[in-house]
Amino acid sequence: MTDKEAKPKKTPKRAEKPAAAAKYVKVTLVRSLIGYPRIQHETAKGLGLRRLQSHAVLKETPETLGMIHKIIHVLKVETVEKP
């Protein structure tokens, strides 16, 4: 066989990761958002928080963790196993 007739290289199969249990976080609004910028009000609304002491259980994704990070000063965050 010449180089031109060589068999194409096979791509290695990636080892599939076992399905990890999804992680969840429970966020609770513990301080009022009065006096903070409107974008922070909208971030809390996006997390599903409406009034003081309201809470939401969310999947731990980069998107939700970024939103939590933006308003961490008014939240209480706990890690939970299942919703």
N- to C-terminal Cα separation, the chain:
60
Average pLDDT on 60-67 reads 96
In which band, very low, low, confident or very high, does the pLDDT at 22 lie, cut at 50, 70 and 90?
A: confident
Mean pLDDT of 25-43: 97
Round to whole Å and give the CA distance between 64 and 72.
12
Task: Record the tokens describing residue 49, joined without a space.
Answer: 């928080």
Residue 11 CA to residue 78 CA, distance in Å, equals 42
Dist. CA 52–CA 75, nearest whole Å: 10
**More confident position, 75 or 83:** 75
The pLDDT value given to residue 18: 58
Q: 77 pairs with which residues across the strands? A: 27
Determine the average pLDDT of the residues in 40-57.
97
pTM for the predicted model, two decimal places? 0.72
Instruction: Set out the domains of the chain in order of their start, with CATH numbers.
Output: 24-80 (3.30.1390.20)
Confidence of residue 16 (pLDDT cuts 50, 70, 90): low
